[in-house]
Structure 1
Amino acid sequence: MHDSPPVSKVYYRPIEAAIRWAGLLKHKKDILRSITSPRQMPTTLNFPGWAELRLCTERIYDAIFNGELPYGCNGITLDDKTLWDSPDLTIRHLDLKRWMRDHYPEQRPAFLFSRRERIAHPIITLETGQAMLVERQALKAELKHCRRQLEMLQEQHHVLSKQIEVTPAGNECSITDRAESTYQHIIGGMLDLILGQSPAGTPYSSFRTQEAIVSALIAHHGGIMGITERTLNGKFAQARRRVRSSAS
């Protein structure tokens, strides 16, 4: 069987609590073999997490010495300073948990706090808190900017709505079939004239093909809506067909 120490106990010796706090429980036997006294731990030791273990141990003893953390003997709470150097010095689980919650609220070691407690009270360090504050300020500024933009858009919408209300319905012009036929007749007739010649054979213009007219229009008015090669060729072809069908 795998003989491993329990994660949580009713009470702990200071070094046992420090080992669990530092997350080194699986190295407990090696650690205990490496020290002679928990209060006189080597400054350095070739062991992973040794500096953190020393810090956790010093914090626990400091709390005991300053009356912040109740202690006792073999799980029985006593106020007896002669126990400070005793191997029977212990601290109860509940007292240790209460002390850590009060003095190290950012710490949630698994041997003291359940998974639910660690999730309900996530660790927020000073750096994390500052980052959250900066992010909050940035979000507030962005929200303020978005609100100003919304107000401007609402005002523009209001103005446009008023303009639409006062615009006479007669100003809305739609091209009827008759009007479109008229325009096509005019365009088709002009194309035939531009590309045609007099009875004597003299060209009416310098343009010889429809493509030449399209190229000239694009060169002079290419930035105007509808003045594109595809649109012009389509409209011209449609207009010339309309003229021919009307003349036949």
Structure 2
Amino acid sequence: MGKSNQTQHSKVFYRPIEAAIRWSGLVRFEARILNTLGDKIVLDVNDFPRWPMLKLNLERLYDAFRNGELPYGKSGITCDDPTLLTQPDLTVRHVDLKAWMTHYYPDQKPEFLFEGIERHLHSAINLDNLQALLIDREALKLRLTELEQSFKALQDQHRLLSEKASCGAGEDKTLSLRGESTYLSVIGGLLTLLLGKSPSGKRYSSFDTTTSIISALLAYFPGHPGISERTLWEKFSAAKRHVGDEAD
């Protein structure tokens, strides 16, 4: 497998013309450009007229050197010596160049400085923000899994109660007070979670109201015993009162 463009063309430090060549996307012409320039450190107006960005980007670098925006040095060693600005061994470090470009040219992310994921990020989003979003996403996925498991437990309980009711025809089918209290606590707790929000303000589920939950149940379990709009409203209202949650 070949190396990435960043790995191939990145260096620990660069001569200004080398950085300008990479910034301008002209690496494949680097040898030709360097041979043509020889010992020159700046470009004349008529140098490489086909590639105007090369001259502009080189001038941007020297402007940043002169105005103290971009650290420079000699042979990769940072040194604030203005006499170096006219010397052929003037260099700029990779890390300093990347930090400077991120600050002053956030819309430009050449491959030799930025990795793939960095180049595709919006300029307002940095890697720290992306990491925080990914962590928050994983936390929400875990919470959703917990809610789905709770909802499945409620479905299983409802199925068992329905089977018991079917098998116990003619027997006393009234729930004990303790059983009814447990039943209402489970339903009330699930309703609170399904309609609630995390401490950071994110909703635990896509349900906004009790009405939306009832509509989903009616659509998901048409014709099932006990799954009717009237019964669900009665049971949900009783459950919310039981857990002390009167919010809709």
Same fold by TM-score greater than 0.5:
no
Q: Could you say which structure has the greater relative contact order, defined with CA pairs below 8 angstroms and 6 or more residues apart?
A: 2
TM-score by length of structure 2 reads 0.45
Greater CA radius of gyration, 1 or 2?
1
TM-score scaled by length of structure 1: 0.45
